[in-house]
Structure 1
């Protein structure tokens, strides 16, 4: 049977199932079949049945949709799933059982004469191919994730995040000296710590010393303890003592070290890991990087990681180098994507917002907005008790913040968190 013939049969039977059942119902039938035949596997599925059943249904739908039309996207989907399965405890020997339960589910849900031998063979082949992709992806992910976690545990210490931030910035300054000016500007109130410093290392290391000194002062003020070590500072984070570059304000240096630590922490949760990689990229925006810096940031992160794990380990353990370069590829992809988006969209947004400001008073613009809002949703008017002119001013500030956030998304995140807290009482 050709791929096309298999695809036609799969599409036909899956179409019949979707006409008669929801993905939730299909998933629940499969879920029940799996645990009827293998009750000892129940410990692998810790989430509620309703959620897992929906996940099963969505997974089958995705495989069916991509098997015939886009094998490359199917492979990417299986790679993503393979990474997630690293911490699930899934083993290759479970897949034949799952396939048998899937075929049994199809036979139960389809009507007489619809689940033919040819249909069964088509679904069997599709599942075998998808399973092979998933198993190989999981095996690769287990090896790479294991290497990253092992080396991270070996090098992790209370000041590691601060050191990573410092090292990446210093490496970047060596490659792109113009970044040093941005770094000094970002230090703001601590500019005096960088004046007269010609070397890249001096710029950040002196600032780092200032940060650590300030952290120790904060601990002393809170606890009365003097001579506090870096490790002690880390242990006292709950007392408002912080050991990273976020000690002052949003104008501080990018928190590259903490973001990298979060990436490693969530490495098998692909959605969270993607968010953390995007956070890392947004931190890079603070350095005012553009597409000409992409190679430089990659080299800077690579050198930092090599220095972190040690040259000997990097050279003698191939899995370590391969694993970190695999993760680095993903990080740099997000950095390049976000920098490209910012430089593409920021000028358009800023120009259009400036045109609006030149044409309309901000207070009046806000009043126009709220009039339209209350016409569209009258019930919301009771939530806004302040005078219209104040609401108008607030609206102008909000849109201005949105415009500025194109180049500094983390500022928007900070403001929205504070706004969300205030909105609790406003219902």
Structure 2
């Protein structure tokens, strides 16, 4: 059986494709159980963020060609999200075995992120692992894969400068706002959502000196919790129309499957503002702000894809650290594969021991029966020894003859090494 990763990310698919294939938290458990119900998949975990949707798992049919494995997962993802198969196939990647493990290590370490070295992805990967374990779709092999990736991410961050000069999508959004407004501290920001990304946005805005922040969220308690930390105002999503006209800056990141802000609501707010400039960043996937809002005069609307140029400025300081991290990951992968091979050997040794013990028990039972009938003990012992020897020699003898007939020198050499045939007693 083989570990795999199947996914799309910011380098292979635009936001309009990624949002169609994103998994909201409330449907992830259902998706996991549907996935492992596939005959080709025995373990699975799903990572879904604004920049990537990835399925990690374990295949149960090693004999299939790689292309067919790819097809199985692509077909499932296409049917689950009702997205044309060609869209999934054209924008996806598929890796197996060691390359899949390496990919997860790179993702966990922030080396595959839009923002090189960003730390948020590690927490998101841990959450996806937690859900898979809770749903019992991640067992022994996938658990070891995740734990190795987490250990590698910790090692990379401890021994390189990959996490220095903090840069993230949230940071990039605020950096872009600084370019738009000469005095950021004089503006008002409306933050939609109260998750980790919006919390980072609020922190960056607060650190930049912005004094008035409004946090809108589906649950008021969470909005109040975040607002309290930054001396902000908390409102419900339903209250956004009442506060939108106040906002010079709107940054949104929710898990909503439908847009939060439409063109009409923004048009009304612009009239109240006498068409004073509004700067908007939609970090969410699926998008929170209708794309048509970008067509309005006096509105600058950016998506996560538009932040890439801003992010690139911060990437340069981390590139040297990333080179060192790549070497660390190669070394970590080698250690992981060596450990897995050792575990495979343990299983083979266990199976071999069980088989030999079963043969022993059969011969011992026969010997005990003969002794009970009054047979001479020394004859019974001779028969026991002969029976054990013949049965233990049978399989190796067959394989040695087969290798010899085929001229398989490699197998003959391995058999000679395994059974110490080059040594004299």
Q: Does TM-score exceed 0.5, indicating one fold?
A: no
Query: Could you say which structure has the higher strand fraction?
Result: 2
TM (norm. structure 2) is: 0.25
Query: Could you say which structure has the higher helix fraction?
Result: 1
Q: Which has the higher Rg, Structure 1 or Structure 2?
A: 2
TM (norm. structure 1) is: 0.25
